[in-house]
Amino acid sequence: SVENIEKNDLTDRVTTFEGDLLAALPDDETYDAIVANPPYIPDNEWEAVAANVKDHEPTHALRGGKDGLDFIRLLIAQAPHRLRSGGFLAIEVATARAEEALHLIATDDRYCHAAVVRDFAGRPRVITAKRA
């Protein structure tokens, strides 16, 4: 991500943080947007994951718990405290879990305008919402 930020001359407008979900963010700041690509592969689908994926990423960066939503639930719970009013949250999700993830955020009254965004292949890939 840092390479893309530099390549597109965005270093004065975009800041990246790396850490345990939102714990890496400074405590005294809120943000216009939080974009996350958390682990989201369900445990029961792990064996079917292609070798080229398993071989290039650490397991803990891919596996999202029993239903693949463990980290997504945590992000949905933590993000309102870190987003400004009207701030934007986008989370990449497993295609098979997009509707469940959408339900999680759409039924949380701290958010509004929840939606699923499809990838270039037309698969549901990202859930988005704004902080109410």
CA distances from 16 to 19, 69, 98 (A): 10, 23, 25
Domains and CATH numbers, the chain: 2-131 (3.40.50.150)
Cβ contacts of residue 27 below 8 Å, gap of 6+? none
86 three-state secondary structure? strand
pLDDT in tens, 102-121: 999 999 999 999 999 999 99
pTM of this structure? 0.84
- What is residue 86's predicted lDDT score, i.e. its pLDDT? 95
